[in-house]
Chain A
Amino acid sequence: MSLITDLFANALDEGYAEAAARQRAAGGPEPSRNRRRMSPALMAGLLGLGLLLATAALQVRADAGIVSAERESLVERIGLATGHADALEQTVADLERDILEIETRQLDNAAVNSELRESMATMRSAAGTGAVQGPGVVVEVDDAENGTDGGSSGAVTNVLDIDLQQVVNGLWAAGAEAVSINDQRVTAMTAIRSANDVILVNFRPLEPPYEVRAVGDSRTLGSRFLEGPGGQWLLDASSTAGIQFDIRNVDSLTLPAARAVLRLAQSEENT
């Protein structure tokens, strides 16, 4: 504390008092007459201060400009890259449809191949690389209504990746035959994980509300899910963190196809 007290008591540079005392001792003019002589040095000092002030202010302005410009160019580049990726994806989807068409036409040529064709379609649906359609349930999961008000209980009020993982697992356990989350088909290669509070499915960022669709026997799937581990998990999350969810049966659901590209893995039968 004495340091701060000292700071308050002797705010003025001690040099001034010493210089004044020296001058008085040397029989110089009374200190009060120095007033007129102050101008050159003080003016130089203030000039320096003004220079520093202006330079510092300009620097901060320039930095802000650079930062925002960098940000904008980054945003622009992200937009361009996303557009490019979308275009490429569209091309891939088109080509895949062409392949499917050609395959079907080839198989159509011979009646013997109809069995092969059907087994291929089944395998595609099971693997998730073919779109499927059928009855099932839709589980809608959303963040708690009063977003950030989890402070008192400390509970996280957002839907987490583990919630979706439990829902999907619960649906499989309840007899689902195909599952998708917000139009991302869940396949054998699908990971449900979060990065920076965003849930990624098939490496695609998703936004709440999350609509988990599952094709299965709509008479039993919903109830079995609710009684199983997935439903229990959701009930727990709903009571502790306020996660909202809704389960409804749907007569006809369409699940999109996922793209699964195997570059290195080969079927063992082919080798």
Chain B
Amino acid sequence: MIPALGLLLGIVAGLYFDVEVPLGLQPYLPIAVVAALDAVFGGLRAVMDGVFSDKVFVVSFVANVLIAAFIVFLGDQLGVGAQLSTAVIVVLGIRIFTNVATIRRHLFRA
């Protein structure tokens, strides 16, 4: 319940402060969101599995976001930014789906 409150607070803060994202960073924002989603669902699943660890969660969250953004940045420099974005989205998307499926099994036993 408290984490959900955190999510709500984050959304409200984001809407309220209306942060101006620098033009150069804009392509990496969607990727960062997907990476953060992956880390959060991974953490939720770890909670359900009873193996949650603060340190692992925080490190995986930050590292996920940074590495995803870096891969896309590298792709942009090499001229294959769009393809690498797709690759990142596919990999993280599969992980999110698998983790959510496990969470679902934990919650509904189905």
- Which residues of A are at the interface with B, using a C-beta cutoff of 8 A? 4, 7-8, 11-13, 15-20, 23, 31-32, 34-35, 37-59, 63
- Minimum CB–CB distance from A15 to chain B (whole Å) comes to 4
Determine the residue in chain A with the shortest Cβ distance to B36.
A49
Chain B 69-94 interface 0/1 with A at a Cβ cutoff of 8 Å (1 = within): 00000000000000000000001001
Contact A50 B11 (CB under 8 A): yes
- A16 and B4 CA atoms in complex are apart in Å by 21
- Minimum CB–CB distance from B50 to chain A (whole Å) comes to 4
Determine the residue in chain B with the shortest Cβ distance to A24.
B51
Contacts of A58 in B (CB 8 A): 14-15, 18-19
- A16 and B51 CA atoms in complex are apart in Å by 6
Contact A59 B21 (CB under 8 A): yes
8 closest cross-chain pairs (CB), A and B:
A50-B10, A54-B14, A11-B98, A43-B6, A41-B54, A19-B53, A20-B51, A46-B6
Determine the residue in chain B with the shortest Cβ distance to A17.
B51
Contact A48 B61 (CB under 8 A): yes
Contact B51 A42 (CB under 8 A): no
Contact B50 A48 (CB under 8 A): no
Contacts of A35 in B (CB 8 A): 47, 50, 52
Contacts of B46 in A (CB 8 A): 12-13, 16
10 residue pairs from A and B, CB less than 8 Å apart: A7-B91, A13-B60, A16-B49, A31-B50, A37-B54, A40-B54, A41-B43, A49-B33, A53-B10, A53-B33
Apart from the given pairs A13-B39, A42-B47, A48-B61, 12 other A-B contacts in the complex at a CB distance below 8 Å: A8-B94, A11-B94, A18-B56, A35-B52, A45-B39, A48-B10, A50-B9, A51-B10, A52-B29, A54-B11, A54-B12, A56-B29
Determine the residue in chain A with the shortest Cβ distance to B55.
A19
- Which residues of B are at the interface with A, using a C-beta cutoff of 8 A? 2-15, 18-19, 21, 26, 29-30, 32-33, 36-37, 39-40, 42-47, 49-61, 65, 91, 94-95, 98-99, 102
- A112 and B7 CA atoms in complex are apart in Å by 97
Determine the residue in chain A with the shortest Cβ distance to B5.
A43
Contacts of B91 in A (CB 8 A): 7
- A41 and B60 CA atoms in complex are apart in Å by 12
Contacts of B13 in A (CB 8 A): 47, 50-51, 54
Interface centre among B4, B6, B58 (most CB of A within 10 A): B6
- A133 and B98 CA atoms in complex are apart in Å by 79
Contact B36 A55 (CB under 8 A): no
Determine the residue in chain B with the shortest Cβ distance to A52.
B33
Contact A54 B15 (CB under 8 A): yes
Contact of B58 among A4, A8, A39, A45 (CB under 8 A): A45
Contact A16 B29 (CB under 8 A): no
- Minimum CB–CB distance from A42 to chain B (whole Å) comes to 5
Contacts of B57 in A (CB 8 A): 41-42, 45
Contact A50 B7 (CB under 8 A): yes
Contact A50 B14 (CB under 8 A): yes
Interface centre among B5, B45, B54 (most CB of A within 10 A): B54
Contacts of A42 in B (CB 8 A): 2-3, 6, 40, 43-44, 47, 52, 57
Known contacts A34-B50, A54-B15; decide if A12 and B42 are in contact (CB<8 Å): yes
Contact B58 A49 (CB under 8 A): no
